[in-house]
Amino acid sequence: MDFRYWLGQALSSNEAWAETFTPVRPHPSLEISDGRFETAFEELTERLKDNYPFFHPSYAGQMLKPPHPAAVVGYLTAMLVNPNNHALDGGPATAEMEREVVGQLATMFGYTEHLGHLTTSGTVANLEALFVARETHPGKGIAYSAEAHYTHGRMCGVLGVEGHTVPVDARGAMDLDALEELLRTGKIGTVVLTAGTTALGTVEPVHEAMALRERYGVRVHVDAAYGGFFRLLSGLDGPEGLPEAPWLAIAEADSIVIDPHKHGLQPYGCGAVLFKDPGAGRFYLHDSPYTYFTSEDLHLGEISLECSRAGAAAAALWLTFRLLPPTPDGLGRVLAAGRRAALRWAKLLEDSERFDLYQSPELDIVVYFPRTEPRSLSKIDEASARIMRVGMAAAKDPVFLSTLRVSAPRFGLRHTGVDADADGARILRSVLMKPESEDHVDRLHERLEELSRG
């Protein structure tokens, strides 16, 4: 697509629509000369240079990448109208688009019925899921694994619910034996399972946990904020294919969270929460006599804890899904490239004389550490920090990584023969969520080898 052309078409479309109404003279208080704007704009663009190149495959640090051009055009086109998806009179067109894209997300996960909406983030989406969990199981606690996102512990505090951390196994997934021991106490009303942990990309055993749900009568919430779109790769042939069982079981979860602003190619912020039982809407009931007055239909604000939400976010996702739908042949091809890149890098690391793979990647996150002499946690920590620092500061061909701090016991579960002379160590972590990584991963590895020699 010709990005510049369609950005211009966004402006033209808005102008043509505006001309169908009575002409309005712009107010003088809003007028700004091109000279003044140029000065301010130059300052803005100069300050924005103080960013890492999230667009480039050499940026393999955090879960960051630019949105797809289609999402940008969709967002800008709707933003010029500036609809608010809180009430139907605030954004009738984008409210309908939101219902459509949320329906596509529900279908992707296998929900036949659902209630859901977009949110400004995965944090807010998880807050809403845990809020409904509290209301359905009053007085009961919420269990989540030690590798779950920190938002769950934080939101338990916000909601006044007791949070319980469950130990993880050797691959960083919730230990179901430890979970069952906790469930026997009768303290737990909801179990949070993560489909794609933030640190390692581990997919927790949703399919195995469902048996515990039936046995102990608990609610199951799946936090698929990062990994949810990998549902599109489950059961596929080829190296990028993922085991089906945990992904198919998500259809039985009581609620799901997913972030389109991660693998859905959207700008921040665009999260989503889905409930299997449409009756969950009863917990949102409220009255707003000055808001809900143009339609008898359900307003999105009536099923959301947030009030104002950008209708432009719904338009951006809608346009993206029209072009790259959440199907294996659509958006799935984008995720498959990142998955193959992770597998390729894992093989390079396994064959390397300078690095060790910390754990085989389950999605598109690769975690590894430099070989040191002596082989000790303190030396690994020091070398990892140095490689990241020097790589990011390189004047030519920089590489951008992140570190992950792991405890000595967790490191020891995966690697023996390393002196635990510290309580933990920083190791290196790379997120290959851009499909361009597939063609760049060999160069990334080559740069890491060069940096390790430095």
- With helix as H, strand as E and coil as C, how does 94-158 read? HHHHHHHHHHHHHHHHCCCCCEEEEECCHHHHHHHHHHHHHHHCCCCEEEEECCCCCHHHHHHHH
Query: What pLDDT does 290 receive?
Result: 47
State which amino acid sits at residue 428: L
Q: Does domain 331-452 have CATH number 3.40.120.10?
A: no
Angstrom distance (rounded) from CA 146 to CA 164: 9
pLDDT in tens, the chain (454 residues): 999 999 999 999 999 999 999 999 999 999 999 999 999 999 999 999 999 999 999 999 999 999 999 999 999 999 999 999 988 888 999 999 999 999 999 999 999 999 999 999 999 999 999 999 999 999 999 999 999 999 999 999 999 999 999 999 999 999 999 999 999 999 999 999 999 999 999 999 999 999 999 999 999 999 999 999 999 999 999 999 999 999 999 999 999 999 999 999 999 999 999 999 999 988 887 655 545 455 556 667 778 889 889 999 999 999 999 999 999 999 999 999 999 999 999 999 999 999 999 999 999 999 999 999 999 999 999 999 999 999 999 999 999 999 999 999 999 999 999 999 999 999 999 999 999 999 999 999 999 999 999 7
State which amino acid sits at residue 417: G
User: Does residue 108 contact residue 251 with C-beta atoms inside 8 Å?
Assistant: no
User: Does residue 135 contact residue 279 with C-beta atoms inside 8 Å?
Assistant: no
Q: How far is CA 350 from CA 226, 355, 358, 425, in A?
A: 26, 8, 10, 20
Helix (H) or strand (E) holding 387: helix 377-393
User: Does residue 225 contact residue 396 with C-beta atoms inside 8 Å?
Assistant: no
- CATH top-level class for 77-288+295-323? alpha beta
Domain boundaries, given as residue ranges, for the chain: 77-288+295-323, 331-452
Q: If DSSP codes are grouped into helix, strand and coil, which group holds residue 272?
A: strand
Query: What pLDDT does 286 receive?
Result: 60
Please report how many Cα atoms fall inside a 13 Å half-sphere around the Cα of residue 306, on the Cβ side: 26
**What's CA 37's distance to the chain center, in Å?**
35
Helix (H) or strand (E) holding 271: strand 271-275
The candidate with the shortest Cα–Cα distance to 359, out of 414, 422, 317, 412, is 414
**What's CA 384's distance to the chain center, in Å?**
25
CB atoms within 10 A of CB 1: 10
DSSP 252: G
Straight-line distance from the first to the last Cα atom of the chain, in angstroms, rounded to the nearest whole number: 42
Angstrom distance (rounded) from CA 61 to CA 63: 7
Angstrom distance (rounded) from CA 375 to CA 419: 6
Angstrom distance (rounded) from CA 157 to CA 174: 21
SS (H, E, C) 404-431: EEEEHHHHHHHCCCCECCCCEEEEEEEE
Q: Beta 219-223 vs 115-119: how paired, if at all?
A: unpaired
Q: 369 has which bridge partners?
A: 356
Q: If DSSP codes are grouped into helix, strand and coil, which group holds residue 190?
A: strand
The torsion defined by the Cα of 379, 383, 389 and 392, in degrees rounded to 10, comes to -160
User: Do the domains at 77-288+295-323 and 331-452 have one common CATH topology?
Assistant: no
User: Does residue 99 contact residue 302 with C-beta atoms inside 8 Å?
Assistant: no
**What's CA 10's distance to the chain center, in Å?**
28
Predicted structure pTM score: 0.95
